[in-house]
Amino acid sequence: MLPAPGFHHLHLNSVDPDAAIAFYVEQFPTGAKASWAGLPALAAPNNALVLFTKVAAAPPTSPQTALWHFGWHVTDTRKSLDTYAGRKNVTLLPLYTTDEGGSVFISSDTWPGTGGVPGRTKAQIAEAKAGRIQPARAGGFGYMQGPDDALVEYAGNHPAERFNHVHMFHDDPFCAQIWYQKHLLAPVFAGRTARRE
């Protein structure tokens, strides 16, 4: 049996790889400009890479590709949000909280999720209001628009800043998980198995 694999890289298309890398290093200072196999790269402190291929036009985001976003752990989500909000080159993306258009820029500014899910249904929001449940206002996650329209999640509060995950769309996430286990020997994290109804 082979050992469990490690994550090596995410590969993105970019109209200006050097500018994209500079953007990510500015937002995530533990990252560094690097190269791998002749490709420009962003190196994360946990040995994960974001590789870039130069293209003539930004990759399409609609219809949606398999990649939804990638995530980066930060040590203080609130401090990171405040920093990003002060930068003209960063576009923060809202998390919608109501049908009327309410939104926040960080998940911990709204009602905490329940049942292992990061959000709440309308009925669960009503329960939270009735129970006077308050936002945690610490930790949580938020999103920013990266170069070439990449969606980037920053999440905290974690002990160290690092590349964390790639989030993909799947028609059947449970079957996708089984495929990665079978073909890549990928381990399943505790609490990430399919729920039994």
pLDDT in single tens digits along all 197 residues of the chain? 677 788 999 999 999 999 999 999 999 999 999 999 999 999 999 999 999 999 999 888 887 788 899 999 999 999 999 999 999 999 999 999 888 889 999 999 999 998 888 888 889 999 999 999 999 999 999 999 999 999 999 999 999 999 999 999 989 988 998 998 898 888 877 665 555 55
Q: In a 10 Å sphere around its CB, with 0-12 CB exposed, 13-18 middle and 19+ buried, how is residue 187 labelled?
A: exposed
The model's pTM:
0.90
Q: Give the sign of the dihedral formed by CA 85, CA 91, CA 92, CA 98.
A: positive
The pairing of strands 91-93 and 39-43 is: unpaired
DSSP 119: S
Regarding the domain with residue range 9-184, which homologous superfamily does it belong to in the CATH classification? 2,3-Dihydroxybiphenyl 1,2-Dioxygenase, domain 1 (3.10.180.10)
At 145, list the tokens. Answer: 């628009």
Distances in Å between the alpha carbon of 20 and those of 16, 32, 57, 169?
Answer: 6, 12, 14, 24
